[in-house]
Structure 1
């Protein structure tokens, strides 16, 4: 799928993998999350099955990294849980699309939790190198594989770089390409006779895109997006996201930790490790943010009210 640049040395052709550094960010994030799990900041029994080789033997990350990983994970978990709860309120099942999913375990955490009956489709997309490793790991892990559903309905696809089951779908894609060249093909949106993996009539959460697809469907539904990035929405990506999503909101990780997380959780994690770098932690958390928003589709009188999908201060419902 990728055209790798080539160079010549000593008359021999060499391939330079310019995407290796990008893929390495997933390894770094997985190791950081595993460190937070080991120290008790997070509970994730599925992560160990998706870790890169040797990651379990790396030393734990410093407390500053563990706390930051905890705040990020806690906030995204809360937003996703609120989304699923609103779907249940409206007696609807929903879809989740994770772009650049890497070694994320959210599907299995949902599939084994109280919202497991709410998901109609869960789609993950990433580099084929990442999805190949993940597909192999899932196939080899009984705890992961069993939660996919019936074995006879679960298949390795795309020459070994993908996997599909009744609900969970792992797909290789280059997200830098135009959606018509990558996502539409992967999701079978324009393949005659093929059942599409994405249904525009179903409430859909993705951590950005698909607005045109949902508008053209003519269905009454809702599209939501969650982004975690360096704070600042004035770059090209941020402007597009804000133009595509209305009711968009943002909180820095510092604001989330101080106002939303709540004293009980703060006290619990502060007892796990001694953290001396409080000023450095505040500085780091101030430079990252959760941004989320949604857009409704269909006749105005049929649109659902999801204005309550937000991160509220602790104690405020």
Structure 2
């Protein structure tokens, strides 16, 4: 049975309610000490009820994971870029980036008009929020109405992500630049859109920007019993996960980008992301609250993921596979065969997963690659360029990857 406009409105209202849920959970975690955010309390009150430590650790991994990918993008572009935060809610990233002197050329936020109205009210009425916007503003007077705010460095617009012509019009009115490298953020947003609507959004982004990266934090592995319980719990609150089919697996998360104009896509579940975070800080946050059941934390983390996709990655990040004369001759000789293409994807995905947010890590053996791909001279040469411990004449069982490049050096390939 097709959904009526009344059904859609009820579901939209429930989705808007998830903004408050997320804000309250973050506010609680910040108050306990998981991470610092001096601006969040201007948007949301401290919840009266205690939150489960599994929830707080999950939000910690989410904030740290998204933040590290985002800062790698800012580092790579030297902040000569723009950020568009889709479904931003009460997010405080603009203010934190300003404090760290990491503001892009312009930072945009998009959300439902009713949420934007609340956020603008808080900004207007609280100097610690309005002052940083004014300090970063230059030019003519700042533009503000009930559903939008536009300064030279920060803009927030009320729009529906399913209505792309209106969204594009509003962003361009706030001087969105299609020629700038652009980072898009979406945290638990696409799953509330139908597959057609989210596909249209991803196609629109890929067509709009010459060079872009998309960071998507969202549910994954939703076909198992744990995932079904998550779906049922939200449905009981009239909140339908209409895009859940794209969240079946890490592969389905990546495929949605590759099918809609993006050149590369990678994904890891949040348990892997959590295990890759700096060990000292993980020990610090794990000492904040006693965790009774680690199995529940693992289940929860395995049902959320970070997926990042790139377009025009040759301009965004340097190639892990070298393109000098040796490799060019080898490719010309053999052709860009399916086996070599497969190797390029597997090898760089292998590296990116383990490079993710680590200074140093041990990763698995190379014989699989050497035995599987016939163009071993290309492989050995490529690996030796990235990893000094490995050379073409002396394969080793284990090796160490050291942080000789930023995380983005491997994310796009």
TM-score range, shorter chain: 0.7 to 0.9
Q: Distance in 2 between matches of 1:28 and 1:21?
A: 11
The secondary structure found in structure 1 opposite 2:156 is: strand
Structure 2 residues not aligned, in runs of 5+: 186-201, 222-243, 321-350, 361-402, 404-413
Q: Distance in 2 between matches of 1:121 and 1:310?
A: 28
Report the CA distance between 1:187 and its aligned residue. 1.6
2:312 maps to 296
String of CA shifts for 1:123-157, please: whole Å, max 9, x gaps. Answer: 11110000000000011111110111257632323
- Corresponding residue to 1:120 among 93, 102, 105: 105
Q: Distance in 2 between matches of 1:79 and 1:48?
A: 25
Matched, 1:268 2:284: yes
The secondary structure found in structure 2 opposite 1:280 is: helix
2:129 maps to 144
Report the CA distance between 1:315 and its aligned residue. 2.0
String of CA shifts for 1:171-214, please: whole Å, max 9, x gaps. Answer: 0101122x12x2212123xxxxx6x6211221100025511123
Q: Distance in 1 between matches of 2:113 and 2:319?
A: 37
The secondary structure found in structure 2 opposite 1:235 is: helix
From the two aligned structures, give the one with the greater helix fraction: 2
Residue 306 and residue 135 in structure 1: after superposition, are their counterparts in 2 closer, same or farther (change >3 A)? Answer: farther
Matched, 1:185 2:169: yes
Q: Distance in 2 between matches of 1:22 and 1:161?
A: 18
Report the CA distance between 1:235 and its aligned residue. 2.3
1:200 maps to 178
Mapping for residues 234-273 of structure 1, pairs under 5 Å: 235=246, 238=253, 239-243=255-259, 244-258=261-275, 260-273=276-289
- Corresponding residue to 1:56 among 40, 46, 55: 46
1:167 maps to 153
Report the CA distance between 1:5 and its aligned residue. 4.7
Q: Distance in 2 between matches of 1:264 and 1:49?
A: 30
- Corresponding residue to 1:230 among 219, 222, 225: 219
Report the CA distance between 1:59 and its aligned residue. 2.2
Q: Distance in 2 between matches of 1:305 and 1:133?
A: 38
Q: Distance in 1 between matches of 2:151 and 2:50?
A: 35
Q: Distance in 2 between matches of 1:6 and 1:26?
A: 21
Larger radius of gyration: 2
Aligned residues: 278
Residue 73 and residue 293 in structure 1: after superposition, are their counterparts in 2 closer, same or farther (change >3 A)? Answer: same
**Given the two structures, how large is their TM-score scaled by the length of structure 1?**
0.80
Q: Distance in 1 between matches of 2:300 and 2:215?
A: 20
- Corresponding residue to 1:95 among 82, 86, 98: 82
1:315 maps to 359
Report the CA distance between 1:234 and its aligned residue. 6.0
**Given the two structures, how large is their TM-score scaled by the length of structure 2?**
0.62
Matched, 1:131 2:106: no
Q: Is the 8 A contact 1:41 1:269 kept in 2?
A: yes
Residue 68 and residue 6 in structure 1: after superposition, are their counterparts in 2 closer, same or farther (change >3 A)? Answer: closer
Report the CA distance between 1:76 and its aligned residue. 0.5
2:317 maps to 305
1:155 maps to 143
The secondary structure found in structure 1 opposite 2:94 is: helix
Report the CA distance between 1:305 and its aligned residue. 2.9
The secondary structure found in structure 2 opposite 1:265 is: helix
Q: Distance in 2 between matches of 1:6 and 1:255?
A: 40
The secondary structure found in structure 2 opposite 1:149 is: helix
- Corresponding residue to 2:205 among 187, 202, 210: 210
The runs of at least 4 consecutive aligned structure 1 residues that moved more than 6 Å come to none
Q: Is the 8 A contact 1:86 1:306 kept in 2?
A: no
Mapping for residues 25-40 of structure 1, pairs under 5 Å: 25-40=18-33
From the two aligned structures, give the one with the greater strand fraction: 1
Q: Distance in 1 between matches of 2:17 and 2:316?
A: 40
